Structure 1
Amino acid sequence: MDAAIGLDAAPAAPFASANASANALRRTRLRDYQTQLLARVQAAQSGAAQAVHQLGVSIGGQRYLLELTEAGEIVPPVALARVPRTQPWYLGLANIRGSLLGVIDLARYLDPSHGAAGPDARFLSLSPRLGLKCALLVTQVHGLRRADTMTPDTGGSAMRLLDADGQAWTPLSLAALVQEERFLQVGL
């Protein structure tokens, strides 16, 4: 599975051919995003760019970097209204500051075997500019990170960055995530 946004989840056999071209397009978008991020990191190392802040979160056991412009509000989990006949990773609807948002357990979306979130879990709403009234359940929020101070980790198949403490961070494009067909199909 591609660690950045879980694009290589095995589709059901009847849909394999239809999903193959969509998956290829998603991989291309992800590669473009990763190339842009690497260029920004290299520009920052050469002093040609300003500091780039991203939001650091844990999803399951992995650390991810999210673009601040794609993230909205971070709130503690609130009561959910369950929605019948939905995917196991779709937790239901939450009323967050008067807006009904669909809530996705992102750890379970990326890895169906993932267990329940712990006490540090938070809801992260998506930026309104992404056009989807949705919040993500993340395992933990680590706060702002500067990707421009991190170094590329060339040891894995996915684009990852290492911070000064040796922690690996994987860029996650929420804009690409909300365009995934599987993400948009919450019904069974």
Structure 2
Amino acid sequence: MANREALRELQTRLASRLQAAKAEGSNVSSWLAVETAGERYLLPLGHAGEIFPWNGVQAVPYTHPWFLGVANLRGSLMGVVDLGGLAGTAVARTEQSLADSSLLAMNPALEVNSALLVDRLLGLRGTDAFVSSEPPAEGAPEFFGTRYTDGQGALWQELNLQAMAQSQAFLSIGV
């Protein structure tokens, strides 16, 4: 119950920060920052949808390990993808670690009924939060965008969720 309240509080804070930035006419942050499988990712706000607490999924046989199954999220049946596993950094998940995770639904405009499992929501970020950038690593998935480094030296990988939703790797869940 406390996990749901904390998630609700985070969503309220994010929404109020976005509204305040729009009202001031300032440059609105362009990414939702998340962490999963020990990696940090930047997800475009325009591609992200609603955030849900982990509530379990119904497993689907004969799928890749990163496809966790399907979940009923506010009346919509959505495929649940372990973002870390899809990005190539699979980790062993326990019920305890999953209890602290969140599901980030992809924006309905992307026309995929999918949600991404993320370990932690880290708030909003704009380009001003980073000190340097570089192109994606050689051989990176096609949905990887620019890599950024923040002031503490942490590396952040931008993801293009629209490109991900259209990629063959994402769409081919069967083994």
Structure 2 residue identity aligned to 1:183? F
Change (3 A) 1:172 1:112: closer
1:66 aligns with 2:52: no
RMSD of equivalent CA atoms:
2.2
Structure 1 residue identity aligned to 2:162? A
Structure 1 residue identity aligned to 2:164? L
CA contact (8 A) 1:126 1:134 kept: yes
Kindly provide the CA deviation profile for residues 64-84 of structure 1, in whole angstroms up to 9, marking residues without a partner as x. 111101000111111211112
Structure-1 residue corresponding to 2:172: 185
Q: Across the two proteins, how many residue pairs are aligned to each other?
A: 140
CA contact (8 A) 1:154 1:160 kept: yes
1:129 aligns with 2:106: no
> How far 1:173 moved relative to its partner?
0.7
Structure of greater relative contact order (alpha carbons < 8 Å, 6+ residues apart): 1
CA contact (8 A) 2:59 2:68 kept: yes
In the superposition, the TM-score normalised over structure 2's length comes to: 0.71
CA contact (8 A) 2:54 2:103 kept: yes
Structure-2 residue corresponding to 1:166: 153
Structure-2 residue corresponding to 1:83: 60
> How far 1:112 moved relative to its partner?
6.0
Where structure 2 has 5 or more consecutive residues not aligned to the other structure, the ranges are 1-25, 139-145
CA contact (8 A) 2:37 2:89 kept: no
Kindly provide the CA deviation profile for residues 42-95 of structure 1, in whole angstroms up to 9, marking residues without a partner as x. xxxxxxx93433100012111111110100011111121111211111111101
Change (3 A) 1:121 1:67: same
Separation (CA, whole Å) in 2 of partners of 1:72 and 1:91? 19
In the superposition, the TM-score normalised over structure 1's length comes to: 0.67
Kindly provide the CA deviation profile for residues 108-132 of structure 1, in whole angstroms up to 9, marking residues without a partner as x. 1222642216243110000001000
2:166 alignment partner, SS class: coil
1:81 alignment partner, SS class: coil
Q: Which moved more, 1:74-83 or 1:142-151?
A: 142-151
Separation (CA, whole Å) in 2 of partners of 1:102 and 1:154? 32
1:177 alignment partner, SS class: helix
Q: What is the aligned-residue identity percentage? A: 38
> How far 1:168 moved relative to its partner?
1.9
CA contact (8 A) 1:123 1:138 kept: yes
Separation (CA, whole Å) in 2 of partners of 1:107 and 1:175? 17
Separation (CA, whole Å) in 2 of partners of 1:175 and 1:68? 11
